[in-house]
Amino acid sequence: MPVEEQDTRISTGTTFKVIDQDELEKPYRVIIENDDVTPMDFVVIVLSVFFELNADHAVHVMLTAHHEGQALVTILPFEEAQQRVYAAHSAAREGGYPLTFHLEPDE
């Protein structure tokens, strides 16, 4: 009796995109997404530390995300935006929070 082959590939849901140097220098918008778990004061600290927003602007961004579901944090070159988002995500996970940011091309 022949053995039936099974597909053993695992999908991680991760998509990889190859970006050239010109794309790395294009501006990207950093967007913060609201969640119902991360404390507001923690969000303000993350925005101040990792995105260099002053206290008033950080509070404004946090409240906009809270009321509208997401908010523009800043616009940066792709590589810098990606590095700051990674650092912010790392700090949030270390604190046990699901705080999330994503990037969008600034067109």
Per-residue pLDDT, 12: 54
20 to each of 27, 74, 81, 104, 105, how far by Cα in Å?
14, 22, 16, 16, 14
Share of the chain above pLDDT 70, in %: 78
Is residue 102 within 8 A of residue 49, CB to CB? The reply is: no
User: Domain for residue 90, yes or no?
Assistant: yes
User: Domain for residue 60, yes or no?
Assistant: yes
User: Domain for residue 13, yes or no?
Assistant: no
Number of domains within the chain: 1
Per-residue pLDDT, 8: 58
Q: What phi and psi values does residue 19 have, to the nearest 5 degrees?
A: -120, 135
User: Domain for residue 23, yes or no?
Assistant: no
Average pLDDT on 3-25 reads: 62
User: Domain for residue 55, yes or no?
Assistant: yes
The domain of 57 spans: 39-105
DSSP for 7-32, written as a single string: --------------HHHHHSEEEEEE
User: Domain for residue 4, yes or no?
Assistant: no
User: Domain for residue 71, yes or no?
Assistant: yes
CATH number at residue 100: 3.30.1390.10
* pLDDT at residue 29 tops 70: yes
User: Domain for residue 66, yes or no?
Assistant: yes
